A and B are shown apart, each in its own frame.
Chain A
Amino acid sequence: MNGNAPTQRPAQAPGVFAAVGLPPIIWLLALFLAPLAVIWAYSFGENRTLVDIAITGNWANYARALKPLYLAILMKSLGFAALTTLICFILGLPVALAISFASPRGKLLLLLAVMLPFWTNLLVRTYALMAILRTEGLINAGLGAVWNALAVPLDADPFTPLPLINNNFAVVLGLVYVHLPFMVLPLYAALDRLDRSLIEASLDLGAGHLATLWRVVVPLALPGIVSGVIITFIPALGAYLTPDLLGGTSSQMIANVIERQFRSANDWPFGAALSFLLMYMTFAALLLQAFIRRRSEAAR
């Protein structure tokens, strides 16, 4: 990582090695990897009684997770995460572009404006969205006031509040709301490094702004776009709070099903299998990112 770092062998300073090595390694093994390993082992087990779980080494929990009922929820989670990522990209690309073309002071202010909601507690942000989307919320109240003011002269029906919450729409909106900064920041980092003269050349040679964006900017910023896409997709896929608070009964995602197995349904082995499926999907996304990055670096 850095050129000047002294790289000693442990034998050259065994006391220091033990002092700085043992605490974090033991903690990681005993209090981070061990809990995950227990879950992993449970995912191959079955419930004997309510609290007694036998680890039998069978794949029944994974097979059950791939049955149509759960496969549908898995697919729905993937779909929500993909749609969220796409919307974040469409919303975020012009924003990132604007930030990268702003003055140094403007850059700082705009970046701060994007980051500020990001630093706000996830629960608070989700609640804030919930409060304005409700039937009695700000949006319906505002629309209702406008509608009813127009309805009297036009002799239209009174306003019926739009169903903005407890459905798939609210979940995707909430996921976009929460994850937009995840997309904007890596996009900005990539666009800021871009060679401006290439954009000017493209415009001089007669390409329009949208054609330049699509055929010059996007290909050049591809590594940053891939990071943005993966960084947005992963947390959106594992989201728990957003579908829990904004979703209805039919818009639950995989994290909500996992929670139910551990808290109300008390089927720990099945919940464990689901959470490892989620983890494997996360790792697959990270591997894909590493693969694309390596290939684009090799192409240079």
Chain B
Amino acid sequence: MRAGPLDYLARWPLRLWLALVGLFLYLPLVSLVVFSFNDSRRISVWRGFSLGWYRTLFEDGELVAAFGNSLVIAAASTLISLVLGTAAAILLWRFRFAGKAALEATLGLPVVVPEICLGVAFLVFFTAVVPWPTELPWPLNLGAIIIAHASFSFSFVALVVRARLASFDPALAEAARDLGAGEWAIFRDIMVPHLVPGLVAGALLAFTLSLDDFVITFFTSGPDTITFPIKVYSMVRFSVTPAVNAASTLLILLTAALTALALWLQGADIAKQAAA
């Protein structure tokens, strides 16, 4: 069968181009994962399969502690972002008030302000303006990082929740109000069930943003508050061994799992809407 004029995918120059771009995008990542299983200190000559580098990681107390820190920071900042982001989304969806445009613009800032600017702003804020005590017991010593993460991720949550609110039928809330439900009951029993997919997607987004963040954490973390990416960065600076590859592979797996979960939940949601 001859390809039609618009069957661009059947043309060899475009196929070659796609293959080359694919190679460019995937060669580094695939080689990273493959050499994490290398039975040698080198990361470009294959010597045989081994899980030894993963064992090294689990025996590295500092790395395990950093991983724990990352999870606690991500969980706490997700919780804060979820509450603040949902509140902001409802505020903007339900009310018309002076300064609304300014608030919307400010909420959009964390998405566009360069990370380095936010990073140094939090560094100065938590050292010179409101010094975060360094002697606090774990996990309170992570407070500054949690606050910084929540500050930039809650606007992402607000965006996602607001998009979901657009499909909320206000007549449902009206009906409940006519039947005597209070504001809290309406929120808990009618709005939240509708918002669940948006809340889950927003939470996963906030969790991934926090877990992935390097630049902002780099400026707010101290010697006792190392996160997983910060630890991996110092490993990269110090030496390039398959241990770094193994740590990176774990991080890839974790983010991929979270993203797949988010996509799957959203896909299920879209399917449900299409079926209804």
Question: How would residues 93 to 120 of chain B score, 1 for a CB under 8 Å from any chain A CB and 0 otherwise?
Answer: 1111100000100110110111111101
Nearest-CB distance from B154 to chain A (Å)? 7
Q: Is the CB of A121 within 8 A of B128?
A: no
A51 to B129, CA, bound (A): 12
Would A24 and B123 be within 8 Å (CB), given that A128-B29, A240-B115 are in contact?
Answer: no
Q: Is the CB of A132 within 8 A of B121?
A: no
A36 to B122, CA, bound (A): 8
Partner of A6, one of B18, B25, B117, B170: B170
Among B40-91, those with CB < 8 Å from A are 42-45, 83-85, 87-88, 90-91
A80 contacts partner chain B, Cβ-Cβ < 8 Å = no
A120 to B123, CA, bound (A): 26
Would A235 and B114 be within 8 Å (CB), given that A17-B95, A95-B21, A196-B6 are in contact?
Answer: yes
Given contacts A16-B94, A123-B233, 7 further A-B pairs with CB under 8 A are: A20-B91, A32-B106, A32-B110, A38-B125, A91-B21, A117-B29, A180-B25
| Inter-chain contacts of A199 with B (CB < 8 A) | 6
Q: Is the CB of B31 within 8 A of A5?
A: no
Residues of A within 8 A of B (CB): 1-2, 4-10, 13, 15-17, 19-21, 23-25, 27-28, 31-36, 38-39, 42, 51, 53, 91, 94-95, 97-98, 101-102, 106, 110, 113-114, 116-117, 119-125, 127-132, 134, 136-138, 141, 177, 180, 196, 199-200, 203, 234-235, 237-238, 240-241, 245, 255, 258-259, 262, 268, 271-272, 275-276, 278-279, 282-283, 286
Q: Can you name 6 A-B pairs with beta carbons within 8 Å?
A: A9-B96, A38-B129, A91-B21, A127-B248, A136-B42, A255-B116
A275 to B123, CA, bound (A): 13
| Inter-chain contacts of A121 with B (CB < 8 A) | 212, 214, 229, 248, 251-252, 255
Q: Is the CB of A39 within 8 A of B245?
A: no
Q: Is the CB of B170 within 8 A of A106?
A: no
A235 to B128, CA, bound (A): 28
B274 contacts partner chain A, Cβ-Cβ < 8 Å = no
B147 contacts partner chain A, Cβ-Cβ < 8 Å = yes
| B5, B32, B120 interface centre (most CB from chain A within 10 Å) | B120
